[in-house]
């Protein structure tokens, strides 16, 4: 298999772009090797610059629930692009998208469109701080909310840890405003509230975690967060940048019946273009400028192309039976993989909810970040390359979700399971 062109491009990229990529995980540092440069995608497939074809389970890290180059999304983009790509003035599409989101996600009465998930979480937190007139934020070890300073913090050791920055360049003072709790552990949250309750502006959480691999919430976890935050006058922020429109049209909050105060959306919302949003109760959202004093802005916010792609995507997702079909495909993949694991006596656990799934090698249960970190990363790297060789493009890192899209056929999934079986046979 030739990788000549990818290798050439990677070398060229390294000279002008740090690490050769514009987002670190694309560089395959967790699995080794030289990243593939992609030439095009169609439906469930991508083709790299060396003309090798793969079934894609990265889906641009979540947005492409309809698969690549969906025809009706492209048609909308063409229509809109003809009339200009940006105005820095309001357009009707933005209202349509806002109305659609409010209809689908009832906890959102008003929202603002931004260009990335990072912007959405950053702005939601600024708003929560302004609304509560408090400074501290609780996040969970292993949850990712974009790369904004105060959220780039995970747990240090011990309980009730004050946040230490995950990256140089983040002042200690910023990180100190971030408190870190353990996902699925209500006690760890109660402890923080016992000590800091009066200064906690918000709890931000991925209601189904996708960024330490897929980890669903334990039965009373989310409802407990709702109860604790409400009783302390703290806002509950659901970061549904992955789960929004992925699990149901109303997101994880619909699935679990919990109403957060603020919600962050992204990825699928933009249908493959840069678009995200944050929204919630009217009385909170009306604090935003120009209605209120909390500043937030964006040159390309609500960009007409991104809005058109988002509207087209939501409209397709509103068809009957989509989420049932996605669940069926996710289940097929999980069942197939589990059969292979049993057959070859490979120890691993698969966490899946709907169309998002992670395989953790060498561990039995994964309910939080600490358990996720115990997985066998070396075996994952071999799995990744073994699958790649057989034409399957899995996420190039162990703590990520593999995404099934509407475009994956049962034949695609069977091919993927067969590739897994072949790889596993070689491992044992
Ligand atoms: C991807 C992601 C973000 C960040 O979104 P970007 O568009 O990459 O800035 C935030 N939160 C969650 C849960 C995400 O998965």
Q: Active-site residue 144, yes or no?
A: yes
Sheet with 200-205: list strands edge to edge.
Answer: 110-114, 276-280, 262-265, 235-239, 200-205, 136-140, 178-181
- For the Cβ of 146 lying below 6 angstroms from any atom of ligand 1, the answer is yes
> How does pLDDT run along the chain (428 residues), one tens digit per residue?
678 999 999 999 999 999 999 999 999 999 999 999 999 999 999 999 999 999 999 999 999 999 999 999 999 999 999 999 999 999 999 999 999 999 999 999 999 999 999 999 999 999 999 999 999 999 999 999 998 888 877 633 333 445 567 778 888 888 889 999 999 999 999 999 999 999 999 999 999 999 999 999 999 999 999 999 999 999 999 999 999 999 999 999 999 999 999 999 999 999 999 999 999 999 999 999 999 999 999 999 999 999 999 999 999 999 999 999 999 999 999 999 999 999 999 999 999 999 999 999 999 999 999 999 999 999 999 999 999 999 999 999 999 999 999 999 999 999 999 999 999 999 87
**pTM here?**
0.96
161 lines ligand 1 (CB under 6 A): no
239 given a catalytic annotation = yes
Token digits of residue 377? 């990363």
CA distance 4 to 12: 12
Please state the atom number of ligand 1 nearest to the C-alpha of residue 239: 13
Q: Whose CA is nearest to atom 8 of ligand 1?
A: 117
């Amino acid at each position: 298999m030739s990788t000549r062109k990818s290798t050439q491009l990677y070398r060229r990229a390294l000279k002008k772009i740090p690490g050769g990529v514009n987002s670190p995980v694309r560089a395959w540092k967790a699995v080794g090797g030289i990243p593939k440069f992609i030439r095009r995608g169609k439906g469930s497939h991508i083709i790299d610059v060396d003309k090798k074809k793969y079934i894609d389970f990265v889906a641009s890290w979540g947005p492409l629930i309809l698969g690549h180059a969906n025809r009706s999304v492209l048609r909308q983009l063409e229509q809109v692009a003809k009339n200009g790509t940006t105005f820095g003035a309001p357009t009707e599409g933005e209202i349509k998208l806002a109305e659609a989101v409010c209809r689908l996600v009832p906890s959102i009465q008003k929202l603002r469109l931004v260009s990335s998930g990072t912007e959405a979480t950053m702005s939601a937190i600024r708003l929560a701080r302004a609304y509560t007139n408090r400074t501290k934020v609780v996040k969970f070890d292993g949850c990712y909310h974009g790369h904004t300073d105060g959220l780039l913090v995970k747990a240090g050791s011990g309980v009730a840890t004050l946040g230490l920055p995950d990256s140089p360049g983040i002042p200690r003072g910023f990180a100190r405003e971030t408190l870190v709790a353990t996902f699925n552990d209500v006690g760890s949250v109660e402890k923080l509230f016992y000590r800091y309750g009066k200064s906690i502006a918000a709890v931000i959480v991925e209601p189904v975690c996708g960024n330490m691999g897929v980890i669903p919430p334990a039965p009373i976890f989310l409802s407990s967060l709702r109860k604790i935050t409400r009783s302390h006058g703290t806002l509950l922020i659901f970061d549904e940048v992955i789960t929004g429109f992925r699990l149901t049209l109303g997101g994880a909050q619909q699935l679990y019946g919990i109403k957060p105060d603020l919600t962050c959306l992204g990825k699928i919302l933009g249908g493959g273009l840069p678009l995200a949003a944050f929204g919630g109760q009217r009385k909170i959202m009306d604090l935003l400028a120009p209605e209120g004093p909390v500043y937030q802005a964006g040159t390309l916010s609500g960009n007409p192309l991104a809005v058109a792609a988002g509207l087209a995507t939501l409209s397709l997702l509103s068809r009957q039976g989509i989420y049932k079909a996605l669940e069926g495909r996710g289940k097929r993949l999980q069942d197939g993989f589990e059969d292979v694991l049993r057959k070859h006596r490979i120890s691993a656990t698969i966490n899946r909810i709907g169309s998002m799934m992670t395989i953790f090698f060498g561990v039995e249960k994964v309910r939080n970040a600490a358990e996720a970190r115990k997985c066998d990363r070396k075996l994952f790297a071999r799995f990744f390359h073994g699958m790649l060789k057989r034409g399957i493009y899995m996420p190039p890192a162990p703590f990520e979700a593999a995404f099934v899209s509407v475009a994956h056929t049962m034949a695609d999934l069977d091919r993927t399971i067969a590739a897994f079986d072949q790889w596993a046979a070689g491992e044992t």
